[in-house]
């Protein structure tokens, strides 16, 4: 017996698609899920805004659901993708631990790793807070859902870095305590610490999105997990590269989402493009300058050239998505 379905998707999705036709799981888990009307009362915090309010950013969009995720992540697809990546992480940790690969690092480089890599836990914590804030203040499930997924990603990366520290100190936790002291007190980290702390109080969520995904993630991940790691290969740090492979894979897909969101927002109007360009330039310059002392400590004379090249790479990305930096 052939049973014809009475409808192919939810009514609100059909209205968006223009007809009652089969929709993707991503569309059904994303489109128009956020409430827009008939709120009970305004919150006590920031009572000038409704709980969901497009005025929490200076950016203007006719339809906030244009900020789609090209990965089409919703709860199920996101968790399936990350579960697969996590299996690779676990295999790499087991491989490195079984073969004592971290013991093959030069003693001097081991100290350098403790100085530049482990304090990145605190950068990842700041990123987690920022992406959570974007989820809280953002408008439309198309942007808020992948933002909280990204927050979870940064928390996971902080945990990976913590595990590396525990492998380095035989699970005493001493390396993590030392990394916190380095983050709080070492001169070469203070510029980045200030930049992270300044970002925590940015209230315009679209500016914060630009700062976190384009500047912090774009610059620091290239610097730490590409440039610093490449130097480590000369000091027996192949095992460390395996332990941080998650960050390399994550950045590739994270940037697809970042670029898609910023491109759609910039294409909405010249005013949006100008505003996003200003935010991007300001934060790229801020993070690049803040990272320069750390780069100098690890790369020496090659630091300035590395920072310049990374900024040029990001500027090229910006040009492709309609931003001028």
Q: What is the pLDDT along the chain (325 residues), one digit of tens a residue?
A: 888 888 888 888 888 888 888 889 999 999 999 999 888 888 898 999 999 999 999 999 999 999 999 999 999 999 999 999 999 999 999 999 999 999 999 999 999 999 999 999 999 999 999 999 999 999 999 999 999 999 999 999 999 999 999 999 999 999 999 999 999 999 999 999 999 999 999 999 999 999 999 999 999 999 999 999 999 999 999 999 999 999 999 999 999 999 999 999 999 999 999 999 999 999 999 999 999 999 999 999 999 999 999 999 999 999 999 999 9
Number of H helices, E strands in the chain: 15, 0
Domain ranges (residues) in the chain? 72-320
Looking at domain 72-320, its CATH superfamily turns out to be Ribonucleotide Reductase, subunit A (1.10.620.20)
Q: CB neighbours of 142 closer than 8 A, spacing ≥ 6?
A: 30, 31, 64, 65, 66, 67, 68, 69
For 176, the enclosing helix (H) or strand (E) is helix 174-185
Does the pTM surpass 0.75? The reply is yes
Q: Please give the structure tokens belonging to residue 21.
A: 């036709």
Q: Note the pLDDT of residue 20.
A: 83
Can you tell me whether residue 283 is helix, strand or coil?
helix
How far is 172 from 102, CA to CA, in rounded Å?
A: 16
Q: Note the pLDDT of residue 261.
A: 99
How far is 212 from 231, CA to CA, in rounded Å?
A: 26
């Amino acid at each position: 017996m052939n049973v014809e379905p009475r409808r192919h998707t939810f009514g609100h999705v059909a209205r968006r698609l223009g007809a009652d036709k089969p929709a993707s799981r991503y569309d059904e888990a994303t489109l128009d899920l956020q409430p827009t009307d008939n709120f009970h009362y305004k919150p006590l915090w920031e009572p000038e805004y409704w709980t969901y309010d497009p005025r929490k950013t200076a950016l203007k969009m006719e339809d906030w659901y244009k900020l789609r995720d090209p990965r089409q992540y919703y709860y199920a697809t996101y968790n399936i993708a990350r579960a697969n990546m996590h299996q690779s992480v676990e295999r790499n940790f087991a491989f490195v631990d079984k073969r004592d690969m971290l013991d093959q690092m030069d003693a001097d480089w081991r100290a350098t790793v403790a100085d530049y890599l482990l304090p990145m836990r605190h950068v990842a914590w700041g990123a987690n807070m920022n992406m959570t804030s974007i989820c809280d203040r953002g408008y439309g499930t198309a942007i808020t859902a992948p933002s909280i997924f990204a927050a979870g990603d940064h928390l996971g990366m902080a945990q990976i870095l913590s595990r590396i520290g525990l492998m380095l100190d035989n699970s005493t936790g001493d390396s993590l305590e030392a990394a916190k002291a380095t983050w709080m007190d070492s001169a070469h980290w203070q510029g980045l610490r200030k930049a992270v702390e300044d970002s925590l109080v940015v209230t315009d969520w679209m500016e914060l999105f630009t700062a976190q995904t384009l500047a912090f993630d774009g610059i620091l991940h290239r610097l730490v997990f590409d440039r610093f790691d490449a130097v480590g290969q000369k000091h027996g740090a192949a095992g460390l590269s395996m332990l941080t492979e998650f960050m390399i894979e994550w950045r590739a897909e994270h940037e697809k989402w970042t670029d898609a969101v910023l491109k759609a927002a910039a294409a909405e109007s010249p005013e949006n493009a100008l505003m996003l360009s200003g935010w991007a330039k300001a934060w790229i310059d801020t993070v690049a300058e803040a990272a320069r002392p750390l780069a100098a400590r690890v790369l020496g004379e090659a630091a300035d050239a590395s920072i310049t090249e990374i900024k040029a790479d990001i500027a090229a990305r910006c040009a492709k998505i309609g931003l001028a930096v």
